Structure formats: structure tokens, C-alpha cells
Structure 1
């Protein structure tokens, strides 16, 4: 597992955080998701590459990029 840290733009509330967490809840290659609403960041302990994580976040309507 590696740790992928991303800047996530467009999050405005806890509902946004929950939608991102839910998107990864059934992904077996993601062991842990930590979203920081105040900083607009997300940390993912995963076997997926950053591009895949970014695509999954963007599918939820947010913008993401590596830090």
C-alpha cells in the first residue's frame, strides 16, 4: 500500500466529504480514506495509482490533483 495525498477542490460541507468516502467504501484496493474539509485535502492508503483516485473523485463532481 502507498499513501496518495491530493488537493480536492469544490468541497463545501460534510456531505461532500461523505460522498467522497462513499465512493471508495466498496473499493477493495483502498484501505483507508481521510478527508480534511478545512484544508481541502484527502489522503488515501491504497494500491491504486493517483490518476485512478483522481478520476474517482472527479466522478463525484470535485476537482483533484496531487500535492
Structure 2
């Protein structure tokens, strides 16, 4: 399953790394592709959207399902 999230608040590659790391630590996430240019994260796996959004929010960014 693939989930696309709009991520706001990222300004640099450090931000991308922080979001990617946070997403990949969630049980059920197989892969996370985070794009600064597109301001989005594409997550592959079985994690629910609420968990993904919560992980991104904990890092200090905003997220919503696309």
C-alpha cells in the first residue's frame, strides 16, 4: 500500500532526513521517500495515516493525507 502525505515546514535536506527517519521507525513502514521540492512523503507499507502524521508532527512539521 502506498500513502502520499503533503508535508509542510521542511526547508532543507536535514528536514527531509528527519521526516524520513521518523517515518521509517513506524511499524509497518517498508520505505519512505521524502521530497523537499514536492513537499511530500510517499510511504510504502501498512502503517495507518494517523501514525504517519503523528510521527511527522512530532518532528515539528505539519502533514496531511493527499
Deviations 1:3-46 (A, max 9, x none): 11000000000000011112133334110100110010000002
Aligned to 1:49: 48
Q: Considering only aligned residues, what root-mean-square deviation do their CA atoms show, in Å?
A: 1.1
User: 2 CA distance for matches of 1:33 and 1:59?
Assistant: 17
- TM-score, normalised with respect to structure 1: 0.89
Q: Which runs of 5+ in 2 are unaligned?
A: none
- Gaps of at least 5 residues in structure 1 are none
Q: CA separation in 2, counterparts of 1:18 and 1:51?
A: 20
Relative to the length of structure 2, the TM-score reads: 0.91
Query: Contact 2:27/2:47 (CA < 8 Å) preserved in 1?
Result: no
Aligned pair 1:39/2:8, yes or no? no
1:10 partnered with 2:9: yes
